[in-house]
């Protein structure tokens, strides 16, 4: 699910390059091996916080933890060639009231392209409104931005203003369409506009599969109401 962090890895156009430098090494006689990391807050698999596009918006350390952990639906849209507008999303089995939706697209092939590709598949503004209307709380996609490269602001703002957590830079090549259990833990960067995350995905068995509404049971909602919502 998470792409590995590596020196010189692909980043969104204009973002800081990734530098991974070894500053000490036990092989060279040092007491310990340590590396220095230089990277942007939207490197690799990462989460967008409202502060990314909204002045005064919440930081990544203020995101609700229960939106980042729980049942998720992988929706396979890899046969769709263009950006994902409302019509494209309505034409597929994108769940209603799906709390967490991960979009698997033809972007999977771009991870091996050797550099940033602006022709990736994104979600348009009206596509974002469609998903907000369906009750999505977390939306993930398999490249470095949820929105098309030519018009990145509108879809981001629609989602973030509605309180949707955006998870970008997923590697969904091995993920089958259907219900899964998602664990996504971004770095707790105080006031951060975003942060790299380790995301884990595990298929759910038939008896634990998502209900049609992809909601929680009443018992689950009571548990969620009493667990800490910030991290």
How many other β-carbons are positioned within 10 Å of the β-carbon of residue 228?
A: 8
Handedness of CA 117, 120, 124, 130 (dihedral sign): negative
From the centroid of its chain, how far is CA 20? 23
Q: Is 52 a catalytic residue?
A: yes
Pairing of strands 194-203, 69-76: unpaired
Short-list 105, 171, 162, 170, CA closest to 128: 162
Pairing of strands 19-24, 34-38: antiparallel
Cα 46 to Cα 218: distance, rounded to the nearest angstrom: 31
Tokens of 33: 């091996």
Cα 69 to Cα 145: distance, rounded to the nearest angstrom: 21
Any alpha helices (H) in 134-192, and if so which ranges? Answer: 153-161
SS3 74: strand
How many other β-carbons are positioned within 10 Å of the β-carbon of residue 76?
A: 17
How many other β-carbons are positioned within 10 Å of the β-carbon of residue 6?
A: 10
Q: Which of 42, 46, 52, 156 is catalytic?
A: 52
Query: Could you give the residue numbers annotated as active site?
Result: 52
């Amino acid at each position: 699910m998470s792409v590995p962090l590596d020196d010189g890895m692909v980043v969104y156009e204009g973002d800081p390059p990734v530098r991974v430098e070894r500053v000490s090494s036990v092989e060279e006689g040092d007491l310990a091996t340590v590396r220095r990391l230089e990277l942007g807050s939207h490197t690799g698999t990462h989460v967008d916080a409202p502060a990314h596009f909204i002045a005064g918006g919440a930081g990544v350390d203020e995101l609700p933890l229960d939106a980042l952990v729980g049942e998720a639906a992988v929706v396979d849209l890899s046969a769709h060639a263009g950006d994902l507008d409302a019509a494209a999303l309505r034409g597929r089995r994108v769940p209603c009231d799906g709390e967490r939706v991960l979009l698997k697209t033809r972007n999977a092939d771009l991870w091996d392209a050797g550099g940033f590709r602006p022709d990736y598949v994104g979600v348009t503004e009206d596509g974002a409104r469609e998903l907000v209307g369906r009750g999505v709380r977390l939306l993930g996609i398999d490249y470095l931005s949820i929105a098309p490269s030519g018009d990145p602001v509108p879809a981001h703002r629609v989602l973030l203003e509605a309180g949707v957590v955006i998870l970008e830079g997923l590697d969904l090549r091995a993920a089958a369409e259907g219900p899964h259990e998602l664990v996504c833990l971004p770095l707790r960067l105080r006031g951060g506009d975003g942060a790299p995350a380790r995301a884990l995905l595990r298929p759910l068995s038939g008896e634990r599969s998502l209900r049609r509404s992809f909601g929680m049971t009443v018992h689950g909602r009571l548990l969620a109401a009493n667990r800490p919502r910030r991290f």
